[in-house]
């Protein structure tokens, strides 16, 4: 089979995204789209119907990487939710990575509450032993009313339980939260509820992004109809401050260095919390410059 898989590049379809920390990873597209694909703020996978790619295509990409990507020691499995792949096939993919890319130190993927719930703890542990080292989990908010409104598909209790399951399996957990997603009126309520969720989940990494209004999404329509009011720069800084203040991690890294944010913050909690709050306070006083609007992007 492998003799007939010679190709001149990686096989990518549609828009492809990855976490900022996976910028230098081998990007292996094993699924198309997202198994959930209902979040009101997200327009990333609207051009794709969710499917798992053919094993022959996946193996071809791995073999291409084995020849031309020997300097990259991490693999990231795209698209939006590779963990949803049935256990036997996902283990097969990890086996092929170990076989043909023996220098790779870690494999990562996106996950959601549904895909984590579908895997038993024993299966998660097996994935960890076979090279899956980190999962990126879109949390967005800890406010249950807001989770329903943005169609996250799970409540905060389930969200926390699934995150803790990842950690129990020994897999690093990186979660994302969304600044601004609650609008102006419930901004601080969202911040506090998210801080409580993060404290209960205790992830290894927290990445804060700022919601961007994407034309064609339900959230953008709400904005156009006057049903959603995006917080301004100052309100977003106050929301970020409130969220960090309400977050207590055992030893987690909280950062807001994504290009969508006005202020890049990086803090190791709990020891670095006060420094982060002081830094945001300086920004609120105008003593620290913010990222200009033209530089913000997804």
Paired sense of beta strands 74-78 and 51-52, if any: unpaired
The reply to whether 295 falls in a domain is: no
Tell me what percent of the chain is helix, strand and coil, each rounded to the nearest 5: 40, 15, 45
Q: Tens digit of pLDDT for each residue in 192-227?
A: 999 999 999 999 999 999 999 999 999 999 999 999
pTM of the predicted protein model: 0.94
The reply to whether 293 falls in a domain is: no
Q: How many domains does the chain contain in total? A: 1
User: For residue 291, what are the CA distances in angstroms to 134, 260, 283, 296?
Assistant: 29, 9, 11, 7
- Smallest CA-to-CA distance from 201 within 134, 243, 142 is with 142
The reply to whether 296 falls in a domain is: no
Task: Give strand pairing partners of 254.
Answer: 206, 267
Per-residue burial over 264-286, b if 16 or more Cβ lie within 10 Å, else e, is: ebebebeebbeebbebbeebeee
What is the per-residue pLDDT for 5? 57
The reply to whether 8 falls in a domain is: yes
The reply to whether 294 falls in a domain is: no
Q: Whole-angstrom Cα distance, residue 190 to residue 294?
A: 27
The reply to whether 153 falls in a domain is: yes
What is the per-residue pLDDT for 3? 47
The token pair at 18 is 């990855």
Q: Whole-angstrom Cα distance, residue 102 to residue 84?
A: 24
Q: Tens digit of pLDDT for each residue in 77-92?
A: 998 889 999 999 999 9
The reply to whether 152 falls in a domain is: yes
Name residues of the chain where pLDDT drops below 50. 1, 3
The reply to whether 297 falls in a domain is: no
- Which CATH number characterizes residue 40's domain? 3.20.20.70
What is the per-residue pLDDT for 34? 87
- Smallest CA-to-CA distance from 159 within 199, 188, 208 is with 199
**Rounded to 5°, angle at Cα 68 from 129 and 85:** 40
Cα dihedral 283→284→289→294 (10° resolution) = 130
Cβ count within 10 A of residue 155:
14
Contact 53, 19 (CB under 8 A): no
Residue-number span of the structural domain to which 84 is assigned = 2-286
């Amino acid at each position: 089979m492998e003799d007939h898989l010679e190709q001149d590049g990686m096989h990518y379809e549609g828009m492809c995204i990855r976490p900022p920390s996976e910028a230098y990873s081998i990007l292996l597209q094993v699924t198309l789209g997202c198994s959930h694909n209902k979040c009101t703020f997200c327009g990333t996978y609207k051009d794709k119907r969710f499917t798992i790619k053919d094993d022959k295509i996946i193996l071809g990409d791995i073999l291409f990487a084995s020849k031309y990507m020997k300097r990259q020691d991490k693999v990231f499995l795209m698209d939006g939710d590779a963990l949803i792949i049935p256990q036997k096939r996902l283990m097969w993919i990890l086996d092929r990575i170990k076989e043909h890319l023996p220098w790779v130190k870690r494999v990562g993927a996106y996950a959601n509450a549904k895909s984590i719930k579908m895997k038993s703890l024993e299966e998660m542990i097996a994935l960890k032993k076979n090279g899956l080292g980190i999962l990126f989990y879109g949390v967005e908010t800890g406010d249950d009313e807001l989770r329903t409104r943005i169609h996250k598909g799970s409540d905060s209790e389930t969200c926390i339980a699934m995150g803790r399951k990842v950690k129990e399996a020994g897999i690093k957990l990186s979660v994302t939260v969304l600044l601004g997603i609650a609008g102006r009126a419930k901004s601080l309520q969202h911040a506090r509820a998210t801080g409580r969720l993060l404290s209960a989940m205790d992830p290894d990494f927290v990445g804060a992004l700022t919601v961007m209004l994407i034309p064609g999404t339900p959230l953008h329509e709400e904005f156009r109809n006057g049903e959603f009011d995006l917080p301004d720069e100052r309100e977003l800084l106050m929301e970020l401050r409130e969220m960090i203040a309400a977050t207590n991690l055992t030893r987690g890294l909280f950062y807001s260095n994504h290009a969508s944010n006005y202020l890049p913050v990086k803090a190791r909690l709990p020891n670095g919390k006060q420094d982060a709050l002081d830094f945001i306070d300086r920004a609120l006083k105008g003593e620290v410059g913010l990222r200009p609007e033209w530089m913000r992007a997804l």
